[in-house]
Amino acid sequence: DAGITQSPRHKVTETGTPVTLRCHQTENHRYMYWYRQDPGHGLRLIHYSYGVKDTDKGEVSDGYSVSRSKTEDFLLTLESATSSQTSVYFCAISQATGGTDTQYFGPGTRLTVL
Amino acid sequence: AQSVTQPDIHITVSEGASLELRCNYSYGATPYLFWYVQSPGQGLQLLLKYFSGDTLVQGIKGFEAEFKRSQSSFNLRKPSVHWSDAAEYFCAVALDSNYQLIWGAGTKLIIKP
């Protein structure tokens, strides 16, 4: 157990509404990541953070924003949800980035945009 | 563009049989290599990783993987699968310490009784 929780675990929302997903960690890891998982695509990085208030874009960042005001929390916001953002969202943490440290994953949030 | 390919979307294996899951990557340099497993409805768990040194890497749950530079491959193996190994397996690659993981599309392993 890497001490990662995600909330909510399931959410159904309507097109055009804002949605915020939360990732919370208890182990003070420096790096946090948001991925989305879709069939046939594996995991794709949305945004990541390398410290409080330090974030950067990943492969599929359009339509998403993030914030990290505390080490333990990394928020993912869909400003105006679209059906193409229906997916399973995973948060991950690591002490170092890329290949030098293992990424540990949260349980995921299943988001459905109607 | 950098990419990771898992050629098999599904693989069906009888319980007790051996298993090999394929992973190929397209990079010029030797990357860091990972295999993760995802059980149904769960998050991802690291099985093993390769950074350098011995090209045969041992992981958890009896899995191993072999890095072959000449083939740009990092195939996952297990000599005898158990029904509990039914899951989806993902290969991932990082170029260096400042690069994020690039993921394959996954291979779903089905175990026949």
A:B CB pairs within 8 Å? 63
Asked if A98 reaches chain B (Cβ–Cβ under 8 Å), the answer is: yes
Average pLDDT over residues B14-39: 91
Contacts of B33 (CB under 8 A, 6+ apart): B23, B25, B49, B50, B65, B67, B74, B91, B92, B93
Asked if A62 reaches chain B (Cβ–Cβ under 8 Å), the answer is: no
**Whether the Cβ atoms of residue A7 and residue A20 lie closer than 8 Å to each other:** no
**Whether the Cβ atoms of residue A31 and residue A50 lie closer than 8 Å to each other:** yes
| Closest in B43, B51, B95 to A106, CB measured | B43
| Closest in A58, A104, A107 to B100, CB measured | A58
User: pLDDT band at B67, cuts 50/70/90?
Assistant: very high
Residue B97 has pLDDT above 70, yes or no: no
Q: How far is A14 from chain B (nearest CA, A)?
A: 23
B80 by DSSP, 3-state: which?
coil
Q: Could you tell me whether strands B24-26 and A54-57 are parallel, antiparallel, or unpaired per DSSP bridges?
A: unpaired
User: pLDDT band at B71, cuts 50/70/90?
Assistant: very high
Looking at residue B108, its pLDDT comes to 96
Pick the range with the lowest mean pLDDT from A9-13, A90-94, B78-82: A90-94
Average pLDDT over residues A24-32: 90
Q: Give the DSSP letter string of A47-89.
A: EEEEETTEEEE-TT-TTEEEEEEETTEEEEEESS--GGG-EEE
Residue A96 has pLDDT above 70, yes or no: no
| Closest in A41, A103, A106 to B101, CB measured | A103
Q: Tell me, rounded to whole angstroms, the distance of Cα B83 from its chain centroid.
A: 18
Average pLDDT over residues B57-68: 96
Average pLDDT over residues A50-54: 92
Residue B96 has pLDDT above 80, yes or no: no
Average pLDDT over residues B90-97: 79
Q: Percentage of chain B surpassing pLDDT 90? A: 70
Looking at residue B61, its pLDDT comes to 94
Residue in chain B closest to A48 (alpha carbons) equals B100
Average pLDDT over residues B88-99: 78
CA distance A79 to A92: 22
Which residues in chain A have their CB less than 8 angstroms from residue B48's CB?
Answer: none
Looking at residue A97, its pLDDT comes to 54
Q: How far is A7 from chain B (nearest CA, A)?
A: 14
Report CB contact under 8 Å: A43, B103.
yes
CB neighbour class for A89 (10 Å; exposed up to 12, middle 13-18, buried from 19): buried
